[in-house]
């Protein structure tokens, strides 16, 4: 019996290993294909979901609601023109690719299956939506083009707004991106957009477009490629840089699988928007006829004005003002606080300029409330009481109320000991609001002195009235008596006047004492006590008038 030892050659072993590896790789690819396909579909679905959400919100705007036909058609979920000859499903890839190549564009408009899928959604399943956006584009696109041109950015970037917000200035994403250009809070602030309790410039078509043009220009300077700049606009430069490092490629389709899922569908959606907004006629889509005014003007507002005031005075629907000025959160423009603007249909502009003051004053209290009266305060001495507790003494109580021990004892009869439960009196200067009565009263002032001249005149009038009822003789006699009386009174009045003229008063200021006042006017303290009927225990108050002469 013979045994044959068969050893395979090295070449044969290598061939077997190669086939094994190839089979393993084929199995892996087969297993991964559904996931890759799912990932692509998911990225397309994200774009479609965002578009539908923003468009449904757009239907609530004033100008869209004016056209009931558009609303009805837009809400018709069964609307589907797949069977029509003009549907995308009946147009070959070569024709769509040729049409894209014919568009003048600084951005490469690549055509592939992902782009076709989104074109089919826009036209075959959302034709009415596209009609609304084309109607709105007549208002928005001239604004976008002039600003993009100003910042040397390609005009065709205006189509970004279709996929970002469906031309809805009030669009807000789940992540908080807001406005036509879907700015996040931090990015908006870094490009000088005001976001506060009263205004959100991300919703302002003019200011948000300026910010978007600057942002896109900065991104293009980083990458030198518009498709990469668009990807970075969607997911941020950090994610694009990471995808470039991982893939080793430097173009959008090269880094496609390394980008966040939502961003993968972003550039295809942009290319689809370019196609749809230029070739809608070929697919039998008609622009919606909207009442949104193309002729508008922007005015700087100098007063604080509520939208309802403008509506009432100019006879314009308040919803129309809101639709043209979506950046104002509370329907109020605080023109006195900052540089704010108002957009109106052109025919109302001159009326607003000439009537701005009247508009601001119309029902002002209703919208802004009555202005607060400035309160006046005076420093006044108030009496406080304190109940002595266990463990307290003169020093601890004085420290607590910020007074001296000497004053505390003086106010409470200069007692040496304290009893628990005793009520102490404490006097402190505090700011209190001036009441109407206190304003009218002004103690220790010359105005309160009774004029002797007024009394004399009163007596004269009385005498004259009495004379009518007396006989001539009686009158003569009475006149002599009154003359004597008048002479005496005149002397008294002169003396009183001399006394009043020689009087001098001092208004007590914070921290002043009678001793300080006596030194200031070189008047003995005893004289001040006598002139003001005070004694050594008397307390003078801030604002009190003290006679010093």
**What is the DSSP code (8-state) at residue 526?**
H
The strand pairing partners of 305, in sequence order, are 333
Burial class (CB in 10 A: 0-12, 13-18, 19+), 540: middle
Q: How many CB atoms sit inside 10 A of residue 21's CB?
A: 10
**What residues pair up with 334 in beta bridges, in sequence order?**
304
- The dihedral region occupied by 152, where left means phi > 0, alpha psi between -120 and 50, and beta the remainder, is left
Around Cβ 47, how many Cβ atoms within 10 Å?
Answer: 25
| Cross-strand partners of 423 | 387
- Report whether 524 contacts 518 (CB < 8 A): yes
Terminus-to-terminus CA distance in the chain, angstroms? Answer: 153
Active site includes 164? yes
Tokens of 319: 């919803």
Q: How far is CA 8 from the centre of its chain?
A: 82
Q: Which is the catalytic residue, given 44, 164, 262, 356?
A: 164
d(CA 292, CA 290): 6
Please return the burial class of 542, using the count of CB atoms within 10 Å of its CB with bins 0-12, 13-18 and 19+. Answer: middle
- Residue 21 DSSP label: H
Which residues are tagged catalytic? 164
């Amino acid at each position: 019996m013979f045994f044959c030892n068969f050893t395979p050659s090295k070449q044969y072993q290598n061939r077997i290993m190669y086939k094994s590896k190839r089979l393993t790789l084929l199995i892996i690819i087969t297993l991964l294909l559904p996931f890759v396909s799912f990932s692509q579909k998911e990225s397309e679905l994200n774009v479609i979901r965002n578009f539908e959400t923003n468009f449904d919100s757009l239907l609530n705007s004033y100008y869209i609601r004016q056209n009931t036909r558009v609303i009805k058609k837009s809400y018709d979920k069964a609307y589907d023109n797949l069977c029509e000859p003009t549907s995308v499903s009946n147009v070959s890839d070569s024709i769509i690719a040729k049409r894209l190549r014919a568009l003048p564009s600084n951005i490469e408009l690549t055509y592939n299956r992902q782009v076709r899928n989104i074109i089919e959604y826009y036209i075959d399943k959302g034709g009415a939506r596209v009609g609304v956006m084309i109607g709105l584009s007549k208002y928005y696109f001239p604004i976008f083009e002039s600003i993009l041109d100003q910042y040397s950015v390609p005009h065709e970037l205006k189509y970004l707004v279709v996929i970002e917000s469906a031309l809805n200035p009030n669009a807000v994403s789940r992540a908080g991106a807001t406005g036509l250009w879907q700015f996040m809070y931090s990015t908006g602030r870094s490009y000088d957009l005001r976001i506060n309790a009263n205004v959100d410039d991300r919703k302002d078509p003019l200011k948000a477009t300026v910010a978007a043009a600057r942002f896109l220009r900065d991104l293009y300077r980083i990458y030198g490629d518009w498709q990469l700049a668009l990807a970075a606009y969607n997911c941020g430069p950090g994610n694009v840089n990471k995808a470039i490092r991982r893939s080793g490629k430097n173009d959008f389709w090269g880094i496609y699988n390394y980008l966040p899922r939502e961003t993968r569908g972003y550039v295809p959606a942009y290319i689809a928007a370019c196609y749809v907004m230029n070739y809608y006629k070929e697919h039998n889509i008609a622009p919606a006829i909207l009442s949104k005014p193309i002729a508008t003007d922007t005015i700087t507002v100098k007063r604080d004005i509520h939208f309802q005031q403008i509506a009432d005075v100019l006879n314009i629907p308040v919803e129309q003002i809101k639709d043209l000025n979506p950046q104002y959160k509370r329907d109020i423009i605080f023109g006195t606080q900052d540089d704010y603007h108002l957009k109106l249909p052109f025919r109302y502009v001159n009326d607003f300029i000439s009537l701005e003051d009247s508009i601001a004053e119309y029902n002002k209290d209703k919208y802004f409330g009555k202005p607060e009266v400035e309160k006046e305060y005076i420093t006044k001495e108030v009496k406080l009481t304190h109940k002595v507790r266990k463990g307290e003494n003169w020093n601890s109580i004085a420290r607590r109320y910020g007074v001296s021990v000497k004053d505390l004892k003086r106010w409470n009869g200069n007692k040496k000991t304290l009893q628990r439960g005793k009520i102490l009196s404490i006097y402190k200067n505090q700011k209190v609001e001036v009441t109407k009565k206190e304003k009218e009263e002004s103690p220790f002032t010359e105005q309160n002195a009774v004029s002797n001249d007024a009394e004399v005149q009163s007596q004269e009038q009385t005498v004259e009235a009495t004379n009518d009822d007396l006989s001539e003789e009686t009158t003569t006699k009475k006149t002599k008596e009154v003359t004597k009386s008048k002479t005496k009174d005149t002397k008294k009045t002169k003396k009183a006047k001399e006394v009043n003229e020689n009087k001098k008063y001092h208004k007590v200021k914070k921290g002043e004492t009678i001793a300080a006042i006596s030194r200031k006017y070189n008047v003995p303290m005893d004289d001040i006590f006598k002139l003001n009927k005070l004694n050594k225990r008397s307390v003078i108050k801030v604002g009190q008038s003290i006679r010093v002469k």
